[in-house]
């Protein structure tokens, strides 16, 4: 297993903050790993690091400061695993929705993720489901997600 994926696994199990990404056309994965659960916030966007800017203006942006997070880079190689996380609270009927997705959109997102997994990791996917506070929308969205998984070959 790669160093980044080992650290992601450890951070996840320790409930520590982390983010991992790959820029378009880049050949490396980059990850920021927090050493503790203390978060920094930004109002000026002048800090150096990785900033989570919310879609809602009333929320404060979280920043992973370069000075307080361990940064790891490694070559992006095929034959890894994709961990898509379906955020069902993005459904338009969800009381927390900041996106306006329909249930069928979760089918399309899953289908596209699975297609990418064929290219980059031999179809290896671990699906993570999260959120969803409108039970009817959650039921429909989950069914669409599972339908796409079952159709995948």
Q: What is the pLDDT along the chain (153 residues), one digit of tens a residue?
A: 578 888 888 998 898 988 888 888 888 888 899 888 888 888 777 878 877 776 666 667 888 888 888 888 888 765 566 777 778 888 889 888 777 888 999 999 999 988 888 877 778 888 878 888 888 998 999 999 999 999 987
Distances (CA, A) of 52 to 60, 63, 74, 86, 130: 9, 6, 22, 18, 19
Give residue 147's pLDDT: 94
Give residue 3's pLDDT: 81
Question: Where is the domain boundary, 55, 75, 95?
Answer: 75
Q: Within 10 Å of residue 98's Cβ, how many Cβ atoms?
A: 12
pTM higher than the cut 0.75:
no
Q: Which residue has the tokens 């370069």?
A: 66
In a domain, 80, yes or no: no
Instruction: Report yes or no: 16 and 33 within 8 Å, Cβ to Cβ.
Output: yes
Instruction: Report yes or no: 60 and 42 within 8 Å, Cβ to Cβ.
Output: yes
Sheet holding 69-75, edge to edge: 18-21, 28-34, 69-75
Question: Where is the domain boundary, 54, 75, 96?
Answer: 75
Question: Where is the domain boundary, 75, 95, 117?
Answer: 75
Residues 21 and 40 in one domain: yes
Q: Give the chain's domain count.
A: 2
Q: Which domain holds residue 116?
A: 85-151
Number of helices (H) and strands (E), helices first, in the chain?
3, 8
Give residue 33's pLDDT: 92
In a domain, 20, yes or no: yes
Residues 45 and 11 in one domain: yes
DSSP states of 54-113 as a string? -SSTTSPEEEEETTTEEEEEEE--SS--B--EEEGGGBTTSTT-SS-B-HHHHHHHHHHH
In a domain, 38, yes or no: yes
Residues 98 and 69 in one domain: no
Residues 59 and 119 in one domain: no
Residues 25 and 71 in one domain: yes
Residues 55 and 24 in one domain: yes
Give residue 140's pLDDT: 93
Distance CA 148, CA 45 (A): 39
In a domain, 110, yes or no: yes
In a domain, 140, yes or no: yes
Structure tokens at 42: 């930004």
In a domain, 57, yes or no: yes
């Amino acid at each position: 297993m790669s160093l980044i994926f080992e650290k992601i696994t450890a951070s996840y199990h320790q409930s520590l903050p982390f983010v991992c990404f790959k820029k378009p056309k880049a050949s490396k994965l980059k990850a920021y790993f927090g050493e503790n659960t203390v978060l920094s916030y930004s109002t000026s966007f002048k800090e150096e690091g990785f900033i989570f800017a919310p879609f809602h203006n009333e929320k404060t942006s979280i920043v992973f400061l370069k000075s307080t997070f361990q940064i790891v880079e490694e070559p992006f190689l095929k034959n890894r695993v994709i961990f898509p996380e379906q955020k069902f609270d993005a459904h338009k009927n969800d009381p927390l929705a900041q996106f306006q997705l329909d249930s069928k959109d979760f089918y399309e997102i899953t289908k596209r993720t699975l297609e990418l997994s064929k290219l980059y990791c031999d179809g290896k996917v671990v699906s993570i489901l999260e959120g969803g506070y409108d039970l009817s929308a959650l039921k429909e969205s989950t069914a669409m997600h599972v339908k796409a998984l079952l159709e995948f070959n």
